[in-house]
Structure 1
Amino acid sequence: MKLVRRLAVLAAAMTTLLGVVTTTQQASAELFNPRQDWLRDASGGLFLHWGMRTAPGFRDGASWEKAITDGGWKADYWVDEAQKLNAKYLVLASFHSRLGYGRAWPSKIPGSAHTERDFLRETIDAAKAKGLHVILYMTDDPQWHAEGGWEQLDSAAYSAYKGKNVDLTTRDGFGEYSYDNIVEVMQNYPDLSGFWIDNDNAYWERNKLYERIRAERPNFLLSNNNEDTPIMDTISNEQKVGMTPAYDYPQATYTPAPRLTEACFKLPDKGSWWYTGSDQDVSAQLNLGRYVTNTGSSIKSLMAETAMINGKFPPKQEAYNTWFAQTIAPIKESIDGTEGGGYLYGGLQPGFWNDGAHGVTTIKKDQPSQQYVHVLTAPSTGNTLKVRDNGYLVGRVSDLRTGKPLRFSQRDGTLTVEGITWDANDTVLKVQTLGGQLFQWPRQLVTATASAETATAPAVNLVDGNFQNFWDNGGKLPVSLDFKLPVKLPVSSVAINQREWSVSYARSATEQSARIKDYTVSVSDDGVTWTALKTAQLPSARGVHFVDFPRTWTKFVRVEVASTWAAATAPKFFQQLKIDEVRLSF
């Protein structure tokens, strides 16, 4: 260990002498924009499906509005419940294809029901008073216009308003109607924070709706559901299931950071996104786990609850909100102001650990030496956790909930923490590191080449320190990645951040993981004669992963990838491999 520490000091000195590689580049306006700052600082939001067909259901705006008002609806209630969930924004969905296309605000545009009382304005004002934001959901879809046995769209009234025949039950006709509604809202509510789109309509695209929003309301965020649209700020991922463990929501996402990414999911176990008359169970640990794992991947959790017509949530959802607030109160510092660990921001390795343990890591934005390990599934036996240190030198470990210092040691790239008392929901270890990734050779010392690459994604990107650049094999396997040091130096592992552009498990025959499967690692003194040290498999998993071998003094390291995880049934991902960054560890 003394040798390793001396090498770490040497590596740190080399980094200082060589200068620090910048990790940012001039990106497109839609990847980074000041309007996104508040959402980047948030960990979650509250999704409110609340409209004409909320139980018991209504067929006209007047009776819908009367029931809401008579029930005692207050916007402050939603804001207070959102704060229990540590949410920083609300997404209001009343103009929804399954909820009667009702508008919970006054409108001069005929075509579907609306209220005279301005529930949208009241919600925005209540949210602003407590530092929260409101985004408005807008649908593109007319197909459910007669669901429930009654017509919800009035083509005749809208046609008279427009002075031409428009059939609102067609996609083009409804596209025009919803376009007009979006523009009206945009003009009347400048302090709205944006639109949540579900999904694109060809009329909108032909008539440059998004470009108009950008021009007239440059502060508005735009989010699209299940589709990464370049002009949008955010891609949302709806109700993903099938992961192991079930709470590990990011396994089903496919968008590399720093793109703003959201996960939208229902908190009730069963039923619709809106209230249909029943008080459904809420799986507390499942939903807490979703929230924490999303935070561990810098993904925003948009949590859906089923408001009743008076705005209140059913008792089991209210109870969950209270439980959630109490559960995360002692660990909020590991959530707020953090990024996911093990990705472009650095940090300890997330995922599966020893003896079946599983969880994620987070890292403070303004203090990267402060990291956190969230153990959502404890080891099957014992009170010890082993986590890959990703090159960090650790100075202190404690239990965040109690403040109790914990025994720890580091060896062969692994941080071992002992004497842990497991929390039933989320054991959080506070890990203080000393400096940066001191057990990894500076990127500036390493030259990367590959046996295959594309013109826009060459091998030099593997060691440029910029996660917005990446290497692409161009679909060629096997492929060799060679890393050259200036002189013979000790190396014991290769830390690899593969691009998070695919799911990490086989969701379907066509949606699979484009990550390394079979590999061989070799070393060489001259780059000509190679000695194979290890042949093995990497797991199909998110975050940083390691190709390990006995510590060897060498000038060249080669990782030869023989196969990836995606099958031929997934042509978009089959034999495709993209890697953001590679580091050599000692």
Structure 2
Amino acid sequence: MRVSGGQGCGTAAEPLDPDNPRQGFLRASVGGLFLHWGLRTAPAHTSCTAWEDDVTNGGWNADYWVKEAQKLHTQYLVLASFHSRLGYARAWPSKIPGSCSTRRDFLGELVTAAKAKGLKVILYMTNDPQWHDEGGHEWLDSAAYSAHKGKNVDLTTNDGFGQFSYDNFFEVMNRYPDLGGFWIDNDNAYWESHDLYRQIYEKRPNYTLSNNNEDTPIMDMISNEQKTGMTPGYDYPQAVYTAQPRLTEADFKLPSTGAWWYGGTDPSVDKMLTLGRLVTNTGSSVKALMAETAQVNGKFPANQADFNNFANSYLDPIWESLHGTEGGGYLYGGLKPGFWNDGAHGVTTISKTDPDRQYIHVLTPPSTSTLRIRDNGYRVASVTNLRTGAAVSWSQSGGVLTLTGLGAWDPYDTVFKVTTAGRQGILTGVKVSASASASGHAGSAAGDGDHRTYWDNDKSLPVSLTFDLGSSKKVQYLGLNQREDSVAYARSDTEQSARIKDYKVYLSADGSTWGSPVKAGQLPSRRGIQGIDLTAAGARYVRLEVGSTWAASTDTTRYQRLRIDEAWIGTSYATPAKRGQS
């Protein structure tokens, strides 16, 4: 994991190639199993040969890791042995001297075993030589690599290590065509100056590239490491600052304490925290990379093995609500996620193939027997408990789906399956303009039906969006999807939320005379769809004026910045639909 410096700066970049077919297996995945395993796995070894002998004599078997990944319902594995804190161990036979390399091809065996079960293996690569002598032992052999290259190369420098690791990228590409790609723990100047990433895509068009904590545009995915501090603690996406459809991953430890690798102890696994992270990430279309600490022989400590067995049976009955779905309340549509009534909290998911099949994941139940969720214009036809199949009592009015008579909550995730019959009451053909816009991000982008384009206020406040409905129409509410390119809470003085705080709404018949606001208030700093309900009235023009946003002036990147993917006008609330009705 990243060991130099702190967390990423929280600045999202525009991806260069967000729809490349090589990303298909990641987009279809719910998550992966992260394996930190190498020379310094307890008990630590300084001899590469002795470590390999203990691995083999201990019964290491690639099928075991694949089976454990399947128990967690993951679709890929990330192997981190060439890690700066694990002795830079290469778990494959290498012709490039410079650090530990095994005689046995552990990586090749894992790739083959995973492929047989329909999973992919991604290889972790570090950029970092700073831990070359950790523990009083020199893990890098500059003399051997220098002799191999025919010139002096100091592997303990960033440039020298960049050359060494650069060569290893190509060796791996030549040996393992079925590898899923590379998971890179930050950039190295040598790699960048030698155009490494472009060369990887050219040589292996099926390989994906992920970067840890840095949103590098040329790479397919950004991973977000061990985020904490949000409320509730399991709602990991609150700390994510990258907008969809950018591939985004959350990587986190399953053991409650300790390092990313096995240190000789067996910490507990918090089921609520772990399952909550898995579900909330899925409910935000973020991949969940779950780290477990394999021992020298590859086996997991008892508490992690027990959790895997538990997850295997626990996830099966609700798997349809996680796999083959996207997060609800974002660019894919769906019911509103997040903070609900009476202390309830959770996420929603929506089927990738059937937008009328949705799911409500209640991770923190309400203090009452009633759950209320904004319906986002979907006409509800039926609600059932996914685990039991039992029908749930519900009603729909005023833009809200209300479930009643609830109880016997699952201790981790109560899932309701919601069948809908399309959307109702959302105006089309609305023209949107803005009082200020950044170049290339005009106000019209907030009303073009495309969440990939967005309006940017050019850090101008107060600022307004004006909606021209074409003729006088009933106006019931405004719907907003703000761009999810900032965290949802103040993580630090320099990493804050760029979302609407104070607002006013005006109506006009002619676009010139506006009068007093018909609604004024504050929006919470929350992810996903936000709605502003109005007392129904007729108007041709609607104006949303934003007076302030949540980011403080200490966050110079996001202070006064506002971006909106899509904004729309609801002319009426959705009404219930009987099963089969459209």
TM range (shorter): over 0.9
Instruction: State the partner residue of 1:112.
Output: 99
Distance 1:316 1:568 in 2: 45
Q: Deviations over 1:418-459 (max 9, x none)?
A: 122321110111000102x213112x2x11111111220001
Instruction: State the partner residue of 2:426.
Output: 440
2:560 counterpart of 1:579: no
Distance 1:548 1:246 in 2: 30
2:211 counterpart of 1:211: no
Instruction: State the partner residue of 1:13.
Output: none
Instruction: State the partner residue of 1:409.
Output: 395
Misfit runs of 4+, over 6 Å:
none
| Equivalent pair of 1:331/1:401 in contact (CA under 8 Å) | yes
| Equivalent pair of 1:393/1:439 in contact (CA under 8 Å) | no
Distance 1:478 1:391 in 2: 29
Distance 1:180 1:405 in 2: 60
Instruction: State the partner residue of 2:548.
Output: 563
Instruction: State the partner residue of 1:423.
Output: 410
Alignment equivalent of 1:254, drawn from 241, 256, 259: 241
Instruction: State the partner residue of 1:71.
Output: 58
Instruction: State the partner residue of 1:10.
Output: none
Change in Cα spacing, 1:224 to 1:28, as seen in structure 2 (3 Å) is: closer
User: One-letter code of the match for 2:454?
Assistant: F
Distance 1:283 1:432 in 2: 32
Instruction: State the partner residue of 2:503.
Output: 519
Q: Which runs of 5+ in 2 are unaligned?
A: 1-13, 573-582
Distance 1:550 1:222 in 2: 50
Deviation at 1:28, TM superposition (A): 7.0
| Equivalent pair of 2:15/2:219 in contact (CA under 8 Å) | no
Instruction: State the partner residue of 1:302.
Output: 289
2:496 counterpart of 1:509: no
| Equivalent pair of 1:234/1:262 in contact (CA under 8 Å) | yes
Distance 2:562 2:547 in 1: 11
Instruction: State the partner residue of 2:9.
Output: none
Distance 1:112 1:176 in 2: 13
Distance 2:566 2:17 in 1: 23
User: One-letter code of the match for 2:536?
Assistant: R
2:271 counterpart of 1:284: yes
Alignment equivalent of 1:336, drawn from 308, 318, 323: 323
Instruction: State the partner residue of 1:466.
Output: 450
Distance 1:554 1:399 in 2: 41
Number of residue pairs matched? 556
User: One-letter code of the match for 2:477?
Assistant: S
Deviation at 1:242, TM superposition (A): 0.2
Distance 2:402 2:508 in 1: 32
Distance 2:489 2:466 in 1: 28
- The 5 Å alignment of 1:78-89 reads 78-89=65-76
| Equivalent pair of 1:91/1:137 in contact (CA under 8 Å) | yes
2:177 counterpart of 1:194: no
Distance 2:389 2:437 in 1: 49
Q: Secondary structure at the match of 1:148?
A: helix
Q: Secondary structure at the match of 1:393?
A: strand
- The 5 Å alignment of 1:484-495 reads 484-495=468-479
Change in Cα spacing, 1:178 to 1:267, as seen in structure 2 (3 Å) is: same
Distance 2:97 2:536 in 1: 73
Q: Deviations over 1:247-293 (max 9, x none)?
A: 00000001110010000000111100000100011111001000000
Deviation at 1:377, TM superposition (A): 0.4
Q: Deviations over 1:316-365 (max 9, x none)?
A: 00111111122211110100100000000000000000001000000000
Distance 1:76 1:552 in 2: 64
Distance 1:357 1:282 in 2: 24
Distance 1:439 1:68 in 2: 63
Distance 1:214 1:261 in 2: 19
- The 5 Å alignment of 1:12-411 reads 30-380=17-367, 382-411=368-397
| Equivalent pair of 1:392/1:439 in contact (CA under 8 Å) | no
Distance 1:317 1:441 in 2: 51
User: One-letter code of the match for 2:381?
Assistant: G
Q: Deviations over 1:506-531 (max 9, x none)?
A: 00000000000000111111112224
Deviation at 1:153, TM superposition (A): 0.4
User: One-letter code of the match for 1:327?
Assistant: Y
Deviation at 1:29, TM superposition (A): 6.0
- TM-score (structure 1 length as normaliser): 0.94
Instruction: State the partner residue of 1:538.
Output: 523
| Equivalent pair of 1:106/1:116 in contact (CA under 8 Å) | yes
Instruction: State the partner residue of 2:6.
Output: none
User: One-letter code of the match for 2:333?
Assistant: G
Q: Secondary structure at the match of 2:355?
A: coil
User: One-letter code of the match for 1:154?
Assistant: D
Which moved further from structure 2: 138-147 or 550-559? 550-559
Q: Secondary structure at the match of 1:348?
A: coil
Q: Secondary structure at the match of 1:42?
A: coil
| Equivalent pair of 1:46/1:82 in contact (CA under 8 Å) | yes
Identity of aligned residues (%): 61
Q: Secondary structure at the match of 1:440?
A: coil
User: One-letter code of the match for 1:221?
Assistant: T
Distance 1:534 1:30 in 2: 41
| Equivalent pair of 2:154/2:161 in contact (CA under 8 Å) | yes
Q: Secondary structure at the match of 1:244?
A: coil
| Equivalent pair of 1:238/1:265 in contact (CA under 8 Å) | yes
- TM-score (structure 2 length as normaliser): 0.95
Root mean square deviation, CA, Å:
1.0
Instruction: State the partner residue of 2:8.
Output: none
Q: Secondary structure at the match of 1:290?
A: helix
Distance 2:470 2:406 in 1: 43
Distance 1:222 1:474 in 2: 32
User: One-letter code of the match for 2:393?
Assistant: R
Deviation at 1:487, TM superposition (A): 1.8
Which moved further from structure 2: 27-36 or 209-218? 27-36
Q: Deviations over 1:363-411 (max 9, x none)?
A: 000001100000000002x211100000111011111111111111111
Deviation at 1:100, TM superposition (A): 0.1
